């Protein structure tokens, strides 16, 4: 699949059972490699606060940071769709969210903006999408709420929490979200949400039954000191970064990654 990836392409991939390979991307050098290696979706993540800026969380990342890095990635990408995170407190009201989403698209070159949260953001999602900007939701572990949820742990473990997650996912879809990231939830819960929704579900630490997978670039290259359970060092055993990225894409596409050892049951 060499044509330009769009929101419609992602939905078609879900319908046809073609896995969506995604990675975070922060600069032109890596974006070129990722695009050439066949990554379908480049996520300009606020994870840059941790992997590039050296902080313990994502909370210090600004909208200016996100616009800058989105511009670097979008300037060289030819095939992949670009999704950019809206950082902490950049969408606290629908009007503020619309203004910042517009900047990510017009100044940063993003195709889609991503926000963390559930039903409480339905009005925000509706307003942004009504103005022609696609939105990606994010449920499960939401790093911008790290102080409220008490750390980087598995979410939606109880039946009640899993049902709440499903309700939030349906609410986001109904409000107009075009896709959804599910982070650190049990595989069975992610499978239920993926089956429930018409829009593509991208997992990170959410098992193999999602419509696609995303990892932080620095994790999958083995550059972070502590490898998350849900990640894998794809550079190990490969001769180059390009080969490692291509191997990641292949393993996502042929459904050999993630394995149960990279998942939560």
- Return the active site residues: 183
Q: Could you give the CA distance from residue 259 to residue 249 in angstroms, rounded to a whole number?
A: 15
* Residues 129, 124: Cα–Cα separation, whole Å: 9
Torsion of Cα atoms, 150 then 152 then 154 then 156, to 10°: 50
Angle at 12 between CA 9 and CA 15, to 5 degrees: 155
Residue 107, Cβ density class (10 Å: 0-12 exposed, 13-18 middle, ≥19 buried): middle
* CA dist 128 → 93, 125, 133 (Å): 11, 5, 6
Rounded Cα distance, 185 and 182, in Å: 7
Question: What is the C-alpha to C-alpha distance for residues 41 and 23, in angstroms, rounded to an integer?
Answer: 7
Contact predicate 173/180, CB 8 Å: yes
Beta strands in 86-147 (DSSP E): 112-114, 135-140
């Amino acid at each position: 699949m060499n044509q330009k990836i769009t929101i419609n392409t992602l939905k078609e991939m879900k319908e046809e059972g073609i896995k969506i390979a995604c990675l975070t991307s922060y600069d032109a050098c890596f974006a070129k490699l990722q695009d050439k290696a066949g990554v379908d979706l480049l996520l300009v993540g606020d994870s840059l606060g941790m992997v590039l800026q050296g902080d313990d969380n994502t909370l210090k990342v600004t909208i200016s940071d996100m616009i800058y890095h989105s511009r670097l990635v979008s300037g060289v990408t030819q095939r992949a769709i670009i999704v950019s995170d809206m950082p902490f407190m950049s969408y606290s009201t629908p009007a503020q969210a619309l203004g910042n989403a517009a900047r990510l698209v017009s100044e940063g070159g993003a195709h889609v903006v991503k926000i963390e949260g559930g039903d409480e953001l339905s009005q925000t999602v509706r307003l942004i999408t009504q103005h022609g900007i696609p939105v990606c939701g994010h449920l499960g572990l939401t790093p911008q709420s790290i102080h409220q949820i008490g750390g980087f742990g598995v979410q939606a473990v109880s039946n009640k929490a899993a049902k709440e997650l499903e309700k939030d996912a349906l609410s986001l879809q109904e409000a107009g979200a075009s896709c959804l990231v599910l982070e650190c939830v049990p595989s069975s819960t992610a499978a239920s949400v993926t089956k429930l929704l018409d829009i593509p579900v991208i997992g990170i630490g959410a098992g193999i039954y999602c419509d696609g997978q995303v990892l932080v670039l620095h994790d999958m290259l083995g550059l972070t000191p502590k490898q998350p359970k849900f990640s894998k060092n794809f550079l190990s055993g490969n001769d180059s970064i390009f080969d490692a990225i291509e191997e990641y894409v292949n393993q996502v596409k042929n459904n050999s990654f993630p394995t149960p050892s990279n998942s939560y049951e």
